[in-house]
Every structure is written in C-alpha cells, then in structure tokens.
Structure 1
C-alpha cells in the first residue's frame, strides 16, 4: 500500500513522514483536520526502482521530475486523489520528510508546498516535485550540517483537502518571544496561510493567557491576502476596511486558544499550529513540535549588549546584508558590530551623506542598523577640499594605520602564546577594529559625497534619474580586484604556453590540482609562484566579513581554480579591460559633447576627473580593510583557538568562532569547557544560514523605506512583479537571454557554466571568477554601488540587483531575459 487516509493510518506510521504523522495523530484524536491522505515513503522508493534512479546521482532531482509512474503506482495514487476531490474543490500537496521537525533538526521551509491542485496531471507533477525536493542542494546541505545521515529516501507526501480560508495563521503554544509557558501567541491575516508563512504580510498578533484567556492585541498592516484562483494562487490587495480592523474576533481567538491547549496536551510539549477559518469553522492544517524553544531560551539567557532585544523591535532596523553577508559567527559579531557602530556614528556626522545611524545590532546572526528619523541635511561644500586627493589620501591612511598593524598580526600569528600574551593581543585586536572602522568610513564617505554630487549634476543635465550609464562612465579604472584577476589571468597565459602545465590544468579536477602540480618540477615551481602571489593578494576569505572560512592565503585551491577557469574559457583580460576603457571614454565624450554650456561642461569635467580618480576606492578599501583585516585577524586568532583547545575549553581551534569575545577573555583567564555552548551556537548559526532574514524589522513609514533603499538598495519586493516578470535595480546596461543557474555559496561554483545567467543572493570578491562566464547577473540584495554592480559594469554584462526574490522565484534551467538598462527580468520559459 502506497497511500493511506489520515483516519485509517496508524498514528505511529513511520512511512508517513513527520508532517503526515502529525496530521494522522490530530485526526485520530478528533481535532478539526481537513480530510486527506498520505503518500507513504515507500512510494518514492518504488518510483525510483521503477525508473532505475540512484539517489547518489548528481542530477537526481531532474531525473525524478522526468520519471514516469508505473501503472500500479499511478492507479493507487490517482484513485486516492479523486476520492478526496469528491469532497473538496482542490487539494494541497505538501512534502512530509521522515527527518522533518525532529528534535534539534527542524527542516521547516526546506521542502515544498503546492496549493489549489485540481487535475490529475498537476497532482502527479507536484508529487514528483515534493520527492525531488528531498534531494535539493540546500536540503542536502542542511542534512549534512545537522549530521542527519539518511540511508533511504524517506520522503512522504501529504495530500489534504484545501480549505479556502477567510482567515488563517500560525499559533505558538508557548510565547516564542518571552518563552513564557503561560501564554500562547497567534499571528493571523486574511486569506490562505501562505501569505504569513512566506512573510509577505504584517499579521495581527494576539497574545492569550492560557489560564484566564485574557487577550492582548496588536493590529498588523495585513497588506495583501492570497486566495485560490482558476489556476494556482492569486495575490490581492486588502481593502482599507480590512487593514483597519482585526481579522479575528475575541470569540475566535478564544476558540483557537482552546484547540491549541488540547493539541499541546496531546503532544505533551509545546507545538506550533497552522490554522484556517472558513465559513466560521476552524481547521487545523498542520501541527509540529517546536524543536528550537530550548535553544531559543538558552540564547535569550546569554544576550549581549549588541543584540536586538524585544524592546528594540518597535524601532525600524535595516538589514545590512548588502554590505555584510549574514549570518556572521558569534566571535566576529562581538568584534565587528561595536566597531561598525563606532565608525558609522562618528563619520556620518563628519560627512553628512543624508542619514545618521543611531545603533548597529545583531538579530539572528544578521547585522542591522537603526537610523534617526528624517534625512540629515547635506552641506554643499562638505568634503570639497578632499575631492581632488581621495585615492591618494586613502593610500596614505592605509600605509600609516593599517599596514603596521598587519605586520604585528603576522608576528602574532607566528607566536606560541601564553594565556597572558594571547589576552593582551586579543584586546589590542578588538581596539584596532574600532580604529579600523573609524578610518574605513573616513575613507568611504567623502568618496560617496563626491559621487553623489556628480550624479546630481548628471541627472540635472540629463533630465532623468537613470543611473546605469552614469556609473558605466566610471568603469575601466584599475583596482585591486581587477589587479588580482589580471595576475591570475597572466598565470593562465603561462599555463597555456607550457604543454605540461596545460595538460594538468585541462585534465585535472580543481580540488586535485595542487597534488598533481606537486608531482613535477614545473608544477612545484608554479606552486611556489602562486604562494608568492598569495602572500600579497591572498588576504581575502571565502566568506567576506567573517573569520569562519579559509583565506586564499591558507589554501591555493581558490587561486588555482580561478586560473583553471581562465584556461578553460579563453578569456583575455587585457583585451576585455581595454574594451571597457574604450566604452567608458566613448560614453563620457558623447555625454560631454551634449553639454551646451561651456562653464557647466568645465565644472562637470572637473568633478568627473576627481570621481574617476577615486573610483578605485570602493574595491581598494575592501581589499586592504574589509578583507585583509579579517583575514590577518583569522590567522592570529587560530593561535588563540589552539591555546584554548590545549586547555580544554574547546575541542578544535575553529570552535573559537562560536564563542563571544567575553567568553574568550574569561576562558583565557579561567579555562573551563565551553564546548557545549560552542556546539549549540554552531547549530543555531547553520539554522540562521538556511533561514531568510527579514530585510527590515519594525513598521517603517514609506519615507523610511525610501531612505533605506538609498543606503542598502531595495528592501521590499517591487510591486510591479508578476508571475513572469521580476523588477529590480538597473545596475549594468544591456540585454541578455539564457538559462538560470542559482548559486547559493562558493561550494556550488563548479555548477556554473559559461553562458549561464548567475542568480544569487549577493556577490563578494570571491565571486568575481564567475563574471567571466556569466551572460548576466541577478541578485536578491544590493544596490547600484554594490560589488555585483561594480564588477558587472567592469565586465560589461547586464545586471539587475536588489530583486529581493530572484533566488526563490527562479529555478535552474529557466530561460530568462535580463534587461540591465531597465531593471527588468522576463521569464521566457520554465524548466
């Protein structure tokens, strides 16, 4: 038997998957669950056997989608489907993994849900997509990080009658904010629950005392609602009346509270519940144990001053993800957050760029900033005396402030420390981060003022606000990222001119290049040259803005993989760079010729030459400050980690990243085991990696959102988006059509092929190697001055950034057209 009704299944059935088991249990105990059935995990096993599929196959997801059902399996599943459709207009199809919602391994959001399924063809297709999701890259990565080893593909599928909810929501039987067992929390809004689960709306919130049933209420904006359409789900705007009143009556809240208490008693521990209300009837759609409550409670017990508190949540906080790829490790957060706040607050008053940051804090591993209300007035001539010498000034600061300290860090990284020497050096490192980020913004903000001034002049002359061409007039200026790329390309030229080296690079996997090169004299010399190169250019981490990942200097793999890519794709750096320079000069000369007023032309040219001279600052400050400081600090801190491991504080030196700064200082003075804390924080960190962090916290006004976008790029999805159109920031002009490849982190770089369109959350300098092969770039976050925008313009490829949603809405193999001039993405066909 491959499918079984909720009411006929055994409550302990391991073949149902966790979600299925929960619904079976609720049904058996008389709770109001819509009818449905479970496609048991043995159905996937049978399907794979019928199609001769192996879960170790690299293309297993596509093979499942392409597979066919045997007559026996198809007959049983469709028979169950049609029986359910006799009672319901449509159904919901949800994955139900045997690993989902287990203690310490909540896979919430890792699998698939499909609503409003009406036909047999849709039903069978969605079942396959649920099965395929079991093998998706992010789920596999999550299993690995959670040490969840599964021998068989234990994926069931829940098929449930769809309730066309008037109101729906989520209930936590223990208040997840205060961790108070005496309270439950309800989040509710209009329509289907997908709007709340996906974070598309600000719901109404109800906190209920489980003894007295006293209700505290907070009204939400309830911006949209979702409802069943002729096909799929439609998103509608709520009316003014709907937004102005609570979506639940007090009687409905009390009824939900009673059902929640019964469900919690049934399980014997806290639960969260998804519910729907249709025609005044309450339905339980899902229930699961809250697997992270104890973890959350422990986290709340060790709050630090730089973490966002419950009281802070009333303020407007902007996720700084376009600058700092989150989440960041505990140790780095305790160093960087105070340093960023210090540097921002000091320099925003000195160089008024239009906003003043009050605080920088951490929320679920991500860095957020809170700004003062209203924009700071800009002084007309602020920083004017610095404009002609910004690049030279930066290099003078680097020479006298940063490089001497980096020499100290190099020495500390070669020292065998005592507890006292390590503590002294650690405190000096923390103090230097304050200095470093003071100077960081002291370098960056005047350049921003100059660029903004030139941009205002440009827009005044052009009579429009389009910015992509403006920034393309500032390309073709050598910087440290391009300089690094050019040297890697020159190594590839050396390879191409040497038959023995060329054979190695053409016939060896990137992870095996180093060992292969060690086997020949030519290869050994080549590695020595690479090592010398990395001593100057290798101080960048696989993950920018953290201490947690290897640096290029530690492992030549990253440089060798880049060189191999140049060998493979035949990219000629000097020729392409020359084309970029010529394009820039042509654009600028054409623009200048169209300025009729000679005085205005002269003034614009003066500011333009200053801005072009300073165009290297964005990349060069990142090379010498953002990247190099963290990389050099990591090398020293690994020695501290070794000392703590020797003293039994942690097991491995790299467990250090999961201690906070005060933990490290206390442990150096009084060593006690902190391994359990480190492990719990590591687990939380990996969960934060997989969860989507909010673009902002609080309830901002439209004016606040507008100011936020000027700082970090788009913070909300464009309201013009449709099923086949996505809008973002026009960051690099041009139009390109090609297949999507979604890349989530550096471990997936090898999946990217020439001619793909790169879709990712954001890029850092490590990602630059992909730009040689990409037809276009699309990101979720970032603005016109982000790394992705700058490098896309340098490489002359279209880019649409800050879409907020591209990595979720686009899938590998989708054929799309990217219009980098207008910030528009069009889906041509779905994979």
Structure 2
C-alpha cells in the first residue's frame, strides 16, 4: 500500500485505472486534457481496503460467508440474504477518524474552490473492471458528514444483489479488492444525456448519436425515459433530430434528487438547440481524437452558467467495435429484447462493457 489514498482529479490520468477505477481515471485524464469537467477528488481502492480492514469488516464478512459452506452462495434468495446482511453491516460502521478527517478537509477545499459554504456533490462509484451499472451513485449530497456517509454507502454497494450475483456467476471471490469513489461538484443540469461518437446500432463512424432530456442525465443513462435522439454527420454537420415526448425528468430537491413531471410546454420541445448540438458534436469529435477511439460520453448543460461556458462532461468511455455488423435478424431480436428489458443504447450492445 502506498499510504496515499485521496487524489484530486488533476493528479490522475488514464494510467491510474488500477489505482482509482475507470471513472476517476477518466475524469483525471479529461481534466488534464483541459475538458470542462466538474471539479472534485477521488478515493482509491486502497481507501476501501483500509475501511474494510480497520473496521473489522473483512473478518466479519468472511465469518458470515462461512455459513454457506464449501459450495458458497447459490440462487437469488441467498444473494438477497447475503446482500441485506452485509450492506447493513457495512453501513453501520463509522469511518476511521483519520480517514473521515481527510475526506472532510478536502470537501471543505472543494467548497472554497467553488465559492460555496456547502457545495452539492455527486458521490459516484468507480470500478477498476467493467461491471456496467452494478455499483451505486448518489447525487446532490450536501455537507461533509453526508459526504462521508454516502461514500460508505457506495462501498456497501459492492455487496448489492447484482454485484454478488455477478461475482458468483463469474466464479470470482465475494470479497473484492475494492472500488474507487469520485466526489465531484454537481452541475445544475438544464439538460443532460449521452453522446456516442459512432452510431451504436449501425456502427457508422461518420455519425455522432446524441440522446438527451430535461434535467439530470440519470433518467437517460438508466433507460427510465425515452430521450430526444439526434444524429449529427461528422463531415457535413447535418443534424437529424427525432424529438420524443419527455414526460418526466430527474431534478434536485433540497437533498438528493426526485423524478417529477416535465412542464407541459416543454414536453415536446427539443431539449437542445441546434447551436448546443453543434457545440456538443465538436467537443465529442475532439474527445474521440484525443483518445484515438470512439467514445461513449455523458454530458450536461449547466442552467446557472454563461451559455458560452455551460457544457460539462462527467464521463467518457472507450467503445470497442466488433468486426462484423449485426444482421437484420440480430437487430430485430435485440429490439424485441429491449421492449422486454428496456435500457438505453450502450456500447455493450456491440462489444464494450462500461465501468
């Protein structure tokens, strides 16, 4: 162990995936590339290990898992039982005093940097390996005590039902080396979503596909709503907009977030202007050029900032492409599955698992 387990984004880069996880490493790389990224800091995998070891959780969880015998956990019922017990166990533990003090000190530095007494932050998981959507994220967290509390909640999510099931099915140990955590300033989202620098179904690398909605982007990322879908030609700049009725949006409440109705006058209005689409497409192209491979990008337009400076990126991931395009039959099967198990189009559709 290095002893250091907290890093500001400008200390990190793409080579630090094993240190802080993919999301944090990418936030660091984008910060170095001078992309507009919300300010913040990261906790390394070592922070998770310290917490688990110094609170006695490693021994307690190991002892609990012995009840399942040599065959280990099997079946959804046991996944649920183990998840409930271990998550409650983790969330009842106090952060070691020196760790809590350092996290609070850096949260206060972030508040000072942002010119706010208590800045609202996102507390996001950052896995070192691809486990899409497995671990949990908490938004609009305010105050140093709540930040510490939700970091522990993110760590506890390494034992949610999906995470346990994944490890069992992949024959991985149930006790893991840990995940990173990103603590970054919340953006007051006017509109948000994702952008693919390659068409996610046709794999046409001359197209950028943008999906967006009003409010925070979690409803797009999770597949909870049908977003606007915009296709931009990289060469000509031609824009093709398909506007969906946007009935719900995720917005801030005093603490945390909630799903609310979109005002009637905005439900059938494009969430992005053509000028905003153009800016986002140009930024997406520059990110793709920087990384040298097609990207899946999460973006936000800030409602409080000058329109010339209000576009932020909160994540980017490489897209890996399979060699052969899908047949029409494969596309039809996928569409049928999407109706039964709705989710957004992601790189996983054509070969990439995301962090």
Select which of 83, 96, 100 maps to 2:126: 96
CA distance in 1, matches of 2:247, 2:160: 32
- 1:299-378 alignment, distance < 5 Å: 300-301=326-327, 303-304=328-329, 309=332, 362-363=333-334, 366=337
SS at match of 1:206: strand
Select which of 675, 684, 693 maps to 2:341: 693
Q: CA deviation at 1:152?
A: 4.3
Alpha carbons 2:13, 2:26 under 8 Å: kept: no
Alpha carbons 2:24, 2:42 under 8 Å: kept: yes
CA distance in 2, matches of 1:194, 1:11: 24
* Distance change in 2, residues 1:97/1:206 (3 Å): same
Select which of 63, 80, 104 maps to 2:106: 80
- 2:290 aligns with 266
Question: Which deviations, in whole Å up to 9, do the C-alpha atoms of 1:49-87 show, x marking residues without a partner?
Answer: 111122544443332211111111111111112222331
Q: CA deviation at 1:113?
A: 0.9
Alpha carbons 1:134, 1:153 under 8 Å: kept: no
SS at match of 2:180: strand
Alpha carbons 1:169, 1:276 under 8 Å: kept: yes
- 1:20 aligns with 24
CA distance in 2, matches of 1:39, 1:92: 13
* Distance change in 2, residues 1:6/1:150 (3 Å): farther
Alpha carbons 1:53, 1:60 under 8 Å: kept: no
Q: Is 1:9 aligned to residue 12 of structure 2?
A: yes
Question: Which deviations, in whole Å up to 9, do the C-alpha atoms of 1:88-121 show, x marking residues without a partner?
Answer: 6300000111113xxxxxx221111110000223
SS at match of 1:177: coil
* Distance change in 2, residues 1:217/1:147 (3 Å): farther
* Distance change in 2, residues 1:244/1:138 (3 Å): closer
- Structure with more helix by fraction: 1
SS at match of 1:68: coil
CA distance in 2, matches of 1:35, 1:367: 35
Q: CA deviation at 1:126?
A: 1.1
Alpha carbons 1:185, 1:207 under 8 Å: kept: yes
- 1:65 aligns with 91
Question: Which deviations, in whole Å up to 9, do the C-alpha atoms of 1:590-609 show, x marking residues without a partner?
Answer: xxxxxxxxxxxxxxxxxxxx
Q: CA deviation at 1:224?
A: 1.6
- 2:180 aligns with 156
Q: CA deviation at 1:137?
A: 2.9
Q: CA deviation at 1:298?
A: 4.4
Alpha carbons 2:38, 2:314 under 8 Å: kept: yes
Q: Is 1:183 aligned to residue 207 of structure 2?
A: yes
- 2:150 aligns with 126
Q: CA deviation at 1:12?
A: 1.8
Q: CA deviation at 1:148?
A: 5.8
Unaligned runs of 5+ in 1: 101-106, 310-361, 369-691, 696-831
Unaligned runs of 5+ in 2: 66-84, 344-355
- 2:53 aligns with 49
Alpha carbons 1:11, 1:28 under 8 Å: kept: no
- 1:484-495 alignment, distance < 5 Å: none
- 2:138 aligns with 114
SS at match of 1:286: strand
Whose relative contact order is higher, 1 or 2, with alpha carbons under 8 Å and at least 6 apart? 2
- 1:283 aligns with 312
- 1:487 aligns with none
- 1:375-774 alignment, distance < 5 Å: 693-694=341-342
* Distance change in 2, residues 1:69/1:285 (3 Å): same
- Structure with more strand by fraction: 2
Q: CA deviation at 1:10?
A: 4.8
CA distance in 2, matches of 1:248, 1:148: 43
Alpha carbons 1:366, 1:693 under 8 Å: kept: yes
CA distance in 1, matches of 2:313, 2:260: 24
Q: CA deviation at 1:290?
A: 2.5
* Distance change in 2, residues 1:22/1:128 (3 Å): same
- 1:225 aligns with 249
CA distance in 1, matches of 2:336, 2:268: 34
Q: Is 1:39 aligned to residue 65 of structure 2?
A: no
- Bigger radius of gyration among the two: 1
CA distance in 1, matches of 2:281, 2:179: 32
The TM-score, its normalising length taken from structure 1, stands at 0.35
Q: Is 1:203 aligned to residue 233 of structure 2?
A: no
- Figure out how many residues of one structure are paired with residues of the other and give that number: 308
